[in-house]
Amino acid sequence: MAQQEDVFKKIVAHCKEYGFVFPSSEIYDGLGAVYDYGQNGVELKNNIKRYWWDAMVKLNENIVGIDSAIFMHPTIWKASGHVDAFNDPLIDNKDSKKRYRADVLIEEQIAKYDDKIAKEVAKAAKKFGDSFDKEKFLATSVHCQEHQAKRDALHARYAKAMNDNDLNELRQIIIDEEIVCPISGTKNWTDVRQFNLMFSTEMGSTAEGSMKIFLRPETAQGIFVNFLNVQKTGRMKIPFGIAQIGKAFRNEIVARQFIFRMREFEQMEMQFFVRPGEELKWFEHWKKVRLNWHKALGMGDENYRYHDHDKLAHYANAATDIEFRMPFGFKEVEGIHSRTNFDLSQHQKYSGKKIQYFDPELNENYVPYVIETSIGVDRMFLSILCGAYTEEVVGDNDTRVVLKLPAVLSPVKAAIMPLVKKDGLPEKAREIINDLKFDFNVQYDEKDSIGKRYRRQDAIGTPFCITVDHQTLEDGTVTIRERDTMEQERVPASELRSIIGKKTSFTELFKKLS
């Protein structure tokens, strides 16, 4: 575990050193849980967004996109339930004065039981070697069964407390489990209180009378309030979806783990409108589609899993997360929710406008049901970086850090390097760049030895390094070096477009989805 924490620290440092992510306002000592994306980060982020947007909007003829405003009428947030119910249960440690989310403290405690079981399994697997039967071991090991029983009891108690919104019980669980503050090491806890996560601001000058408005905590509501606009102008027939990518804001009190939990972040959300009664069928459909979308990137199927929600949000009748194995455990990257007709019905009620769909096949009007897929761009970014970060021993005494990013998402697709800074090699390299730059993000690099240049490109996940040498001037061939295998091959420069294109093609990736 400590080793994994070290890896995570290295990833955070790597992000800064190589222009992926910087703390916001750093020269003023930063702003908590707010981050800026650097020159490589923004490219990776844009590629993630393109992968999502095209997979939704281009590959599905019944899904269209919108871009709604961040500021919205404040009644929207009353209707959606966010004013009254978008809360986190918080608890303070009286000695360290540190504030925690009570639910997170308990979930971490549940994860500790899982870790204990995993350790027992690993120990036995080592002892018994090839003859080890995990299922049998789990069914017979007294230690595992004890841990499992404690875990299940805690889980059931926690799920009930969350569903009942029972803050006293949450506190009691923390006391009974003897959970201590990681800073002070004491169990001196306050009561648990609810804290609303929305940021608010004023719109209009005070002289004219101002209105309190909220920074949206999710992009979804911008889709709901535009349901009729899009359905009518696009002549959309149910089932259909509306997709959106945009910023969201939450005053997260316990903002930790780098860009995992931020106060300003970006979401990619799609609301899929369906007939009442068909929502659970579509929920299963989108669960599968979204998991395939993740797996198609080739980061290892074993690194993803579903996690069904214990506590359903106020609007949902089914909900699952897609989790990714981060260095700090399996964590939510995406949520798939069956939101019933809650949001559209609420907007109908609060706005006084009829929000219904006339279904020509059924010859009836109804408020559609909704399946939502909601993924954080920043969390997706973090999961990709964590999965890609690799430290490798190369040769006898050398190591390299390489980001084994899916090539299609890499910020830079190829680096073109003249072997030396003379003899017409830089000019030839520029010529190749000028030819490739219309199709790919390519970089020119002439500084330092070729070995150092390779390492720099490995560190930002560039799939190809192309070296221009004296032979290039004679026969037009270059050396192309592949990031993961480090194998080098001599190829005609005229073939570069096709070689790079094949490996970094969105089209090839999209074909895997259909």
Per CB under 6 A, residues contacting ligand GAP are 218, 220, 250, 252, 261-262, 265, 267, 269, 332-335, 372, 374-376, 378-379
Shortest distance (Å) from residue 194 CB to ligand GAP = 16
Residue 75 beta carbon to ligand GAP: minimum distance, rounded to whole angstroms: 18
Nearest CA among 405, 402, 408, 256 for reference residue 329: 256
**Closest separation in Å from C-beta 459 to ligand GAP:** 25
Give yes or no for a contact between 90 and 200, defined as CB atoms under 8 angstroms apart: no
- For strands 414-418 and 398-403, give the pairing: unpaired
Of the pair 65, 501, the CB lying nearest ligand GAP is at 65
Sequence-separated contacts (24+) of 430-438 with Cβ below 8 Å: 432/466, 432/468, 432/478, 432/493, 432/496, 435/497, 436/496, 436/497, 436/500
C-alpha 76/C-alpha 347 separation (Å) is 7
**Looking at 49-137, which runs of residues are DSSP E strands?**
63-65, 87-92, 99-101
Q: Which of 380, 405 has the CB closer to ligand GAP?
A: 380
Tokens standing for 14? 């790597």
Residue at token pair 């809360």: 87
What's phi and psi for 490, nearest 5 deg? -95, 125
Q: Quick check: 268 and 52 in contact, CB under 8 A? A: yes
Show the tokens assigned to 236: 């959309």
Q: Name which of 336 and 500 has its Cβ closer to ligand GAP.
A: 336
Nearest to 34 by CA among 273, 247, 206, 187: 247
Specify the residue, 103 or 269, whose C-beta has the smaller distance to ligand GAP: 269
Cα–Cα distance for residue pair 322/67, rounded to 1 Å: 25
- Residue nearer to ligand GAP on the CB measure, 82 or 503: 82
| Distance (Å) of CA 142 to CA 124, 128, 170, 321, 340 | 13, 17, 29, 31, 43
Helix, coil or strand: residue 224: helix
Q: How far is the CB of 144 from ligand GAP (least distance, A)?
A: 31
Cα(401)–Cα(339) distance, rounded to whole angstroms? 43
Chain Cα centroid distance, residue 329: 14
Whole-number minimum distance, CB 52 to ligand GAP, in Å?
A: 12
Q: How far apart are CA 376 and CA 381, in angstroms?
A: 8
Of 106, 75, 74, the closest CA to residue 89 belongs to 106
For the four alpha carbons of 432, 438, 442 and 443, in that order, the dihedral sign comes to positive
CB of 346 to ligand GAP, least distance (A): 14
Nearer CB in complex with ligand GAP: 214/440: 214
- What are the start-end ranges of the E strands in 309-397? 318-326, 329-340, 357-359, 364-366, 369-376, 389-394
Nearer residue to ligand GAP within complex by CB, 68 or 479 = 68
| Smallest distance, ligand GAP to C-beta of residue 261, A | 4
3-state secondary structure of 21: strand
Amino acid letter at 258? F
Residues in the chain: 514
Nearer to ligand GAP, 267 or 479 (CB): 267
Three-state SS for 128?
Answer: helix
User: Residue 8 CB, nearest distance to ligand GAP (Å)?
Assistant: 16
What is the bridge-based pairing of β-strands 414-418 and 442-444? parallel
What is the nearest approach in angstroms of ligand GAP to the Cβ of residue 413? 27
Residue with smaller CB distance to ligand GAP, 93 or 383: 383
Q: Minimum distance between the CB of residue 133 and ligand GAP, rounded to whole angstroms?
A: 36
The least distance separating ligand GAP from the CB of residue 248, rounded to whole angstroms, comes to 7
When CB distances to ligand GAP are compared, the closest residue is: 376
The least distance separating ligand GAP from the CB of residue 378, rounded to whole angstroms, comes to: 5
Please provide residue 35's backbone torsions phi and psi, each rounded to the nearest 5 degrees. Answer: -135, 155
Cβ proximity to ligand GAP: between 177 and 269 the closer is 269
Output 220 or 388, the one with its CB closest to ligand GAP.
220
